[in-house]
Structure 1
């Protein structure tokens, strides 16, 4: 008998905003048309959000802008942190890099792990870049690897790990700093269906509502795979650099109050990875 499918992430009531974007637009220097056109978006604490769209729709550009990888041409992005709100568009590159190290976590399709480092070192380095002493960083890294089913594999390098195991290392690296917002860009794109489901389970398990113990953790996934998107509590669809649909996968549109941008329609420049 086929095992029952793992349930999708549960819908959550409206929660405090973790990240809010307003009027977000971006045009690349060598492009004649914008990649983003006036996007408004709210990510609630404890929310899992999937972003879908055809190639060139602006979804990777949106993720990169929200995550402070690029500075938007126009608009505002506010990230609410325990130390207070941060207006990302007002930061220079060094300041945005500091926010990425401290407050955000990343999981990419190819992991972007360092091949010359062991699994343990790949995770520990995320803490060491923030000033954590190596022994303390490696202890925390080992605990996260064990939590994700990689106990005993700490000293393996990427060539000694399967694709799914490498993505587990990437997930551990994204979470070891205590980041409250995890961005995943096509995290299952290079994996077979069974391994994809396992990796997605781990990402969804990282989502936490705010409570007395935790400040909460949210997940934003960019994907081409509708099966992946439908596991998240909320699905946002982009076309021509603007949000054309924002709906709950559990029957209530705009679960946490996110809204689409209202910029003019038109062809966009190709997405930049």
Structure 2
């Protein structure tokens, strides 16, 4: 059986009177793609943020096991430790990309490497290679506003994977795209993650996006209500 890369146990998270997570247990296996679905306010984005070490739960544990190295209890780390974990091991793709509009495509991607200590020349070379692999060769010098929505999301995917992130967390990565472009972005996202042996966790409201993943989890009122394997 494939080993787990993320293990969540009894996660509880509240925001005032609202319970976002109500005792969630979840195992995510290395190299799989998992879609998390649920209505607005169901807790799905909170679950993603807790798994990724962005938000700390009130109760429960999250353990990350890298391919080479000892398991790390994410929920036991302080803010500095969690920031380093996110920088070194996790990648992120959001609905709006959260790219820096004043930078070019290649600069946005290279920056992810440069903040880990890689030199500018090597970072730029590796960034350009990822952009080319994702169909953006020749667009390295364009600023984000000069790209289509689908192209900008591919820049975000390149940024998420240029560091070799073992797990990519994607929150509604196709939410602002039409159906054809959505399919193209999912092609790129799956190619950059699971087809390279890495892991993808994607929050989505789109059943077509969820169907592209190996497993779908449904969340309601902070609890996992169903788990299914996509055809």
Where on the TM-score scale, by shorter chain, does this alignment land: which range?
over 0.9
Q: Determine the structure 2 residue equivalent to 1:118.
A: 104
Q: Determine the structure 1 residue equivalent to 2:22.
A: 37
Once residues 110 and 33 of structure 1 are traced to their aligned partners in structure 2, the CA distance between those partners, rounded to angstroms, is 26
Greater helix content? 2
| Structure 1 moving runs of 4+ over 2 Å | 206-209
1:151 aligns with 2:134: no
- Match of 2:100, SS state, is coil
Once residues 99 and 65 of structure 1 are traced to their aligned partners in structure 2, the CA distance between those partners, rounded to angstroms, is 13
- Match of 1:115, SS state, is coil
- How far residue 40 of structure 1 moved from its aligned partner, in angstroms, is 0.4
Which one has the largest radius of gyration? Answer: 1
Which one of 88, 106, 116 corresponds to residue 130 of structure 1? 116
- Match of 1:184, SS state, is strand
Q: Determine the structure 2 residue equivalent to 1:4.
A: none
Q: Is the 8 A contact 2:194 2:200 kept in 1?
A: no
Q: CA RMSD in A?
A: 1.1
Alignment: residue pair count:
230
Q: Is the 8 A contact 2:33 2:194 kept in 1?
A: no
How is 1:16-95 mapped onto 2 (pairs within 5 angstroms)? 16-28=3-15, 31-81=16-66, 82-95=68-81
Once residues 69 and 207 of structure 1 are traced to their aligned partners in structure 2, the CA distance between those partners, rounded to angstroms, is 20
Once residues 205 and 117 of structure 1 are traced to their aligned partners in structure 2, the CA distance between those partners, rounded to angstroms, is 25
Q: Determine the structure 2 residue equivalent to 1:108.
A: 94
- Match of 1:50, SS state, is strand
What's the TM-score, normalizing by structure 1? 0.82
Once residues 206 and 16 of structure 1 are traced to their aligned partners in structure 2, the CA distance between those partners, rounded to angstroms, is 20
Which one of 224, 230, 248 corresponds to residue 205 of structure 2? 224
- Structure 1, unaligned runs of 5 or more: 1-13, 251-273
Once residues 130 and 99 of structure 1 are traced to their aligned partners in structure 2, the CA distance between those partners, rounded to angstroms, is 11
Once residues 72 and 172 of structure 1 are traced to their aligned partners in structure 2, the CA distance between those partners, rounded to angstroms, is 29
- Structure 2, unaligned runs of 5 or more: none
- How far residue 208 of structure 1 moved from its aligned partner, in angstroms, is 3.5
Once residues 45 and 35 of structure 2 are traced to their aligned partners in structure 1, the CA distance between those partners, rounded to angstroms, is 12
- Match of 1:35, SS state, is strand
- Match of 2:71, SS state, is strand
